[in-house]
Structures are given as structure tokens and as C-alpha cells.
Amino acid sequence: MRTIVTLPGDGIGKVVLDETIRVLNAAGFEAEYVEGDIGWEFWCNEGNPLPQRTLDLIAEHKISLFGAITSKPKDEAFGELSPDLKEKGLIYSSPIVGLRQHFGLDICLRPCRTYTGNPLNFIRRGPNDCIEEPEVDVAIFRQNTEGLYGGVEWSNPPEQVYDALMTHPKFKSNFGSAPVEDVSVSTRIFTKKYTERIVRAAFEHARKYGYKSVTVCEKPNVIRETSGMMYKMAQQIQKEDFHSIELWNTNIDAQMMWLTKNPENYGVIVAGNMFGDIVSDGFAGLIGGLGFACSAQYNPETGIGVFEPTHGSAPKYADYPVSIVNPIAMVESANMMLDFINEQDLAKKIKKAVADVVTEGKVRTYDMAKMSGRADVVKNGAASTTQMADAIIAKL
Ligand code: IPM
Ligand code: MN
């Protein structure tokens, strides 16, 4: 039997994961689950939110379902560290970013598709003031390990770094007069290998699922070297291997404006790490927000994959006696896992059950019912996390 590593993490991570496993079981997916330690608790007590034993577990079983993580700024994180660890010079860093780096999960796919009947769907004013509800079907490929998330950064950079920066004429003229201790640098490094990999993954997905275009969403007019490299590589890859798919080029800022103007025009979108993060939240907003935003991140060489909803841990909702959060993003992330491990039929079955529940509209979590997320929403007619999972299970 297959073993899946579960990583509940913090806050609402555990409840959405538990409900999702209930759905997987009900659909007939046969697996054994082992839980990995990750998150805030392990930072506070051990000084490491991503312990080695968890990495070992993932390396062994390869496939993992991830709930959610609480991340706090450096100083606040230090404050919550257990007193005996405070002397050790530990610095908090996000365990999800750590997981991506450690296993080289360089491909991140975030699909954003309209669910028919979702009251949270984006609508816009059309001709003669009619209301239009464009159908969004976008697959965002986010480079998941490089760029601004590469972790190569300094405040008050060491002398060698500073000297090297000073050899760049633009650094010298734009920043050379600032005292070195006033300078902070975060690098944005792209490499050909991983840029090519994400761009090719985007084109292959477009071909496999019949999308007519791939859009590189970067900013090559200003960020010439990194964004420019990605766009140039995309042009070459399209010319060599994917002539029947159109290559479009948008700038991240313009894309954020256009995504409410004509979101139905886009198919596959590919971007670097930070812009992929931004554009995927932008499109998620059009299809119901973070309660619907799922993702897959994987390393195509090792076959290691981590599947996670892109919402946070929503700590303020975590202590409600009855959980109110929408589990659909987690369930859909599990569907992406099923696709990844060649259980397409099961994935299809669960996807259809989710779509049926949303379309029918009888069972709606507070976000879908447009309530603000208070503990009394269930009393007022919203479905709880468990009731939503029950409704999905009933449709299987
Ligand atoms: C995401 C999240 C993460 C990111 C955070 C939690 C570090 O926003 O998965 O999109 O920025 O990648
Ligand atoms: Mn994000």
C-alpha cells in the first residue's frame, strides 16, 4: 500500500487535512498516512520548524499532503522561542520555503478554474450594463525555488560582496553614496536549467490539456537579465517544440490589471517565484479566493511532490469549537496529488463531487455564504468544515 506523509502544520492545517483524508477514504483511495512534524510548535520547542526526521520521512515516501503554516517576522519568532534555545543564534525561516529548497520542488502548478454556481465567482459589467461572469481556466506555473526566494540576501553586506557590487556602474551611481550599513540587498537569481524546466512544464501542460497560449508574466522591460532570460528562453522553446501554442508576454503589473478585464483570455501562465506568487493569488481571487486555491509542487527528477492549499493557517479560526473554514482548497490539492500518482479516475471522481456540491449551492461554507468569519456562522446557516466534507462525500 502507498504511504502518504501528512504535514498538518499550524492553525487550520490539521482540520482541512483530516477532512480531506476522510474524502479520500470515502472515494476509495487506499493509502496509509504517516504524520510529519512541521510548523510553529517545533520552532518554539526545538528551534527548527522543519526537523530532519520530517525531511527523512518525505524522502522515504515521496508524496506528501501539506496543511498550512504560520510564519512570523524574525524578531517575533525569536520572542516565542523556548528560553533555553534563545542563546543559540537561531533564525526562523519559513518551513514551506525550506521544503521547496531542500527537495528542489522547482515546479509549482496552481490551477484557477471557475466552479459553475460559485457565488464567489468574479463578475463584471458588460455591454449595456449587463452582468458577465467570465469563465476562468488558468494554470499558473510558478518557478518555486529561485529568484527572490533563493535566500541570497544581506543587510550591511560583507566587504567582498559590497566590493563586488561596487564594480557594477549602476550600483555605484545609484547606491554608492549610501553607507554600507544602510544597504540591504535581496538577490533575484535565475538559472537556465530551472528557467527552462518551468517554461517547458508550462508548454507541455498547454499541449496536454489543449490550452492555446502560454503567457510569460514577468517584467522584461525593466528586469532585463532575469525576466529577459525567461522570455527569451520561452521564445526559443516555443519555436523549437511548440509551434501550435501561442506565446504571449505580459508584465506583472499590467497582468494584475488585466486579470479583471479579460481573465477568460488566458490559458497557461508562467512566471518566476515572486511574480508567480502574486499572479496566482490574483487569479485565485477570481474563482473564489483562497478557499479554492490549490497547488502542486514537485521535483520532476526525484518524483517528490508536496500538495498544498495556498491559504495560510488562519490562526484566529483555529480555536473555534466548530471549524468553519472551507476545505475545498485542500481537497483539490489532494486531487492534484492523485493526478500526480496516476490515480486520475479517483481524482476525477472527487473533482466532480466538489463541482456538484458547489453548483447545487445547498451547502456553503461561510466564505461562499459571504459571511464574515465568526464562530457563529454555522448557527446562521453556513456549513462547517466537516459539513462541507460530508456534502462532498455524499456526492461521490
Ligand atoms: C504561498 C505562500 C508562501 C509563499 C509563504 C507562506 C511563504 O504565500 O505558498 O504562496 O510566499 O510562497
Ligand atoms: Mn502566496
Output the tens digit of pLDDT for each of the chain's 396 residues: 899 999 999 999 999 999 999 999 999 999 999 999 999 999 999 999 999 999 999 999 999 999 999 888 888 999 999 999 999 999 898 999 999 999 999 999 999 999 999 999 999 999 999 999 999 999 999 999 999 999 999 999 999 999 999 999 999 999 999 999 999 999 999 999 999 999 999 999 999 999 999 999 999 999 999 999 999 999 999 999 999 999 999 999 999 999 999 999 999 999 999 999 999 999 999 999 989 999 999 999 999 999 999 988 998 999 999 999 999 999 999 999 999 999 999 999 999 999 999 999 999 999 999 999 999 999 999 999 999 999 999 999
Cα 359 from chain centroid (whole Å): 25
Which residue has a Cα nearest atom 9 of ligand 1?
310
Which residue has a Cα nearest atom 11 of ligand 1?
277
pLDDT at 274: 98
94, 112, 142, 278: which to mutate for ligand 1, most atoms within 8 A of CB? 94
Report the predicted TM-score, pTM, of the whole model to 2 decimal places: 0.97
pLDDT at 295: 98
Looking at the CA of 274, which ligand is closest?
A: 1
Q: What is the 3-state secondary structure (H, E, C) of 43-101?
A: HHHHCCCCCHHHHHHHHHHCEEEEEECCCCCHHHHHHCCCHHHHHHCCCCCCHHHHHHH
145 lines ligand 1 (CB under 6 A): no
**Bridge partners, residue 65, by sequence:** 6, 307
pLDDT at 72: 87
Q: What residue spans of the chain are helical by DSSP H?
A: 13-27, 40-46, 52-61, 74-79, 95-102, 159-166, 169-175, 192-209, 226-241, 252-258, 273-286, 315-318, 328-340, 344-360, 385-395
What whole-number distance in Å separates Cα of residue 372 and Cα of residue 234?
43
pLDDT at 152: 96
Q: ∠ CA(151), CA(71), CA(388), 5° rounding?
A: 125
pLDDT at 287: 97
Which residue has a Cα nearest atom 12 of ligand 1?
277
Which residue has a Cα nearest atom 2 of ligand 1?
310
pLDDT at 98: 95
Please enumerate, as own/partner, the contacts of 376-379 that have beta carbons within 8 Å and a separation of 24 or more. Answer: 377/324, 378/322, 378/324
pLDDT at 311: 83
DSSP assignments along 193-229, one per residue: HHHHHHHHHHHHHHHHHT-SEEEEEE-TTTSTTHHHH
What whole-number distance in Å separates Cα of residue 350 and Cα of residue 28?
10
Residue 266, SS3 per DSSP: coil
97 lines ligand 1 (CB under 6 A): yes
pLDDT at 71: 86
71 lines ligand 1 (CB under 6 A): yes
**Bridge partners, residue 140, by sequence:** 110, 269
66, 96, 294: which to mutate for ligand 1, most atoms within 8 A of CB? 96
Pairing of strands 137-143, 131-132: unpaired
